[in-house]
C-alpha cells in the first residue's frame, strides 16, 4: 500500500490506473469503513482510501477537536484489508479551495442543526475527486442523507465518478458502528443499542400503525431511556419529504444526542 500526501504525487502515481474505487473517510476506522473497502474491491480494480478529518464539515461548537485520531492503526487496517493507495492530505488541501453549496435536500434532517455541514462535505469530496479522479466512490448508507446529497451533487455536475451506497454495519447489539461510539461513556454505550431497537420496532409495526403514532411512541421510549432525539422521521427515500402512511418504500431516519455525543442511524424499507 502506498501513501499519497499531495496532489502532484497523486497525479503521478495514479495516472496509469483504470477502474479506481475510492473510499473517503475521516479515519478511526472500524468494520463499517472496511466493508466499504470490500465493496470498492468488488466494483473496481484499484482500491483507494482517503483519511482526512475535514474541518469544513464541523460547526463551531462541534467535536472537531476531540474527533478520534488514530492514523497508525488506520494504516495497518487499510493495508490488511487490501487497500492499494491511501491519500492522507496535509492541511494544504484547503489552500485556495473553491467552496461549493450542497443541493437543497441538505437543509433537511441533519442540515437543520448543522447548517454548514453538507456544504463542507461536498466541497471536500469534490476536491478529493479532482485530486484522485476515481471511477467509483463508495459511501455508507449509515449517512443516508450524505449519500443522497453526494449522488445528486455529482450528477448535476456531470462528474464521471459513479457514486455507490453500501449497507450499514452494526455491532452485535445492533448499534450502528461509528467513530463517535468511542466517545460514549460506558453507561451510554449500554443504552445506545436502544436506538436501533426502536427503529426496528417501527419497521416491524409500520403496516398496522400510523407514522405519527409510531414516532410519538418512540420518542416517549427514547425519553424514558435518556436518549434525546433531534429528529425521528419516516420519509420518502428519494426526496426526504414525509412519507405517507401507505407508502411501501420509506426511510426511517434518526439523530439523537446521548450525553454529548450525536449519533445517527436509519433503516431503509424498499
The span from the CA of 38 to the CA of 247, in Å, is 33
User: In the window 35-64, what residues touch ligand AMP (CB under 6 A)?
Assistant: 35-36
Cα–Cα nearest to 27, from 114, 91, 88: 88
Size of the site for ligand AMP (CB under 6 A): 17
Contact 41, 21 (CB under 8 A): yes
- Taking residue 7's Cβ as centre, other Cβ atoms within 10 Å add up to 16
Piece of the chain touching ligand AMP by CB under 6 A; list 41-49, 169-177, 203-211, 215-223? 169-177
With CB under 6 A as the contact rule, the residue among 114, 126, 142, 262 that binds ligand AMP is 142
The span from the CA of 176 to the CA of 90, in Å, is 30
For residue 220, the minimal CB distance to ligand AMP (Å) is 27
Rule CB under 6 A: say whether 25 interacts with ligand AMP.
yes
Cα–Cα nearest to 197, from 256, 140, 157: 256
For residue 98, the minimal CB distance to ligand AMP (Å) is 21
Contact 103, 149 (CB under 8 A): yes
With CB under 6 A as the contact rule, the residue among 140, 164, 195, 266 that binds ligand AMP is 140
The answer to whether 33 is a known catalytic residue is: yes
User: In the window 233-262, what residues touch ligand AMP (CB under 6 A)?
Assistant: none
Piece of the chain touching ligand AMP by CB under 6 A; list 75-83, 84-92, 166-174, 203-211? 166-174
Give the residue at shortest CB distance from ligand AMP.
140
228 strand-pairing partners: 257
Catalytic residue among 33, 160, 211, 228: 33
Rule CB under 6 A: say whether 169 interacts with ligand AMP.
yes
User: In the window 110-139, what residues touch ligand AMP (CB under 6 A)?
Assistant: 139
Rule CB under 6 A: say whether 181 interacts with ligand AMP.
no
For residue 180, the minimal CB distance to ligand AMP (Å) is 8
The span from the CA of 96 to the CA of 77, in Å, is 32
With CB under 6 A as the contact rule, the residue among 116, 123, 145, 179 that binds ligand AMP is 179
Q: Enumerate helices (H) and strands (E) in the chain, giving the number of each.
A: 9, 9
The span from the CA of 40 to the CA of 263, in Å, is 25
The span from the CA of 124 to the CA of 55, in Å, is 10
The span from the CA of 40 to the CA of 22, in Å, is 7
- Residues catalogued as catalytic: 33
Which stretches of the chain bind ligand AMP, using CB under 6 A?
A: 25-26, 32-33, 35-36, 139-140, 142-143, 166, 168-169, 176-179
Amino acid at each position: 500500500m502506498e501513501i499519497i500526501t499531495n496532489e502532484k504525487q497523486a497525479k503521478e502515481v495514479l495516472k496509469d490506473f483504470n477502474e479506481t474505487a475510492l473510499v473517503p473517510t475521516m479515519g478511526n476506522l472500524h468494520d463499517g469503513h472496511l466493508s466499504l473497502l470490500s465493496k470498492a474491491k468488488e466494483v473496481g480494480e484499484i482500491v483507494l482510501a482517503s483519511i482526512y478529518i475535514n474541518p469544513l464539515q464541523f460547526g463551531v461548537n462541534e467535536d472537531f477537536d476531540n474527533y478520534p485520531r488514530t492514523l497508525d492503526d488506520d494504516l495497518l487496517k487499510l493495508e490488511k484489508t487490501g487497500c492499494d493507495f491511501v491519500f492522507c492530505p496535509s492541511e494544504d488541501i484547503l489552500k485556495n479551495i473553491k467552496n461549493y453549496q450542497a443541493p437543497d435536500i441538505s437543509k433537511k434532517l441533519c442540515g437543520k442543526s448543522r447548517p454548514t455541514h453538507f456544504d463542507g462535505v461536498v466541497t471536500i469530496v469534490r476536491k478529493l475527486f479532482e485530486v484522485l479522479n476515481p471511477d467509483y466512490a463508495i459511501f455508507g448508507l449509515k449517512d443516508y442523507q450524505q449519500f443522497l446529497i453526494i449522488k445528486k451533487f455529482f450528477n448535476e455536475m456531470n462528474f464521471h465518478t459513479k457514486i455507490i451506497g453500501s449497507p450499514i454495519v452494526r455491532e452485535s447489539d445492533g448499534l450502528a458502528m461509528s467513530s463517535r461510539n468511542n466517545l460514549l461513556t460506558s453507561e451510554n454505550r449500554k443504552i445506545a443499542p436502544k436506538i436501533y431497537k426502536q427503529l426496528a420496532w417501527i419497521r416491524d409495526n409500520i403496516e398496522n400503525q400510523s407514522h405519527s403514532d409510531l414516532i410519538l411512541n418512540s420518542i416517549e421510549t427514547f425519553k424514558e431511556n435518556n436518549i434525546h432525539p433531534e429528529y425521528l422521521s419516516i420519509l420518502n427515500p428519494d426526496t426526504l419529504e414525509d412519507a405517507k402512511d401507505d407508502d411501501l418504500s420509506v426511510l426511517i431516519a434518526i439523530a439523537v444526542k446521548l450525553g454529548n455525543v450525536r449519533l445517527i442511524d436509519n433503516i431503509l424499507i424498499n
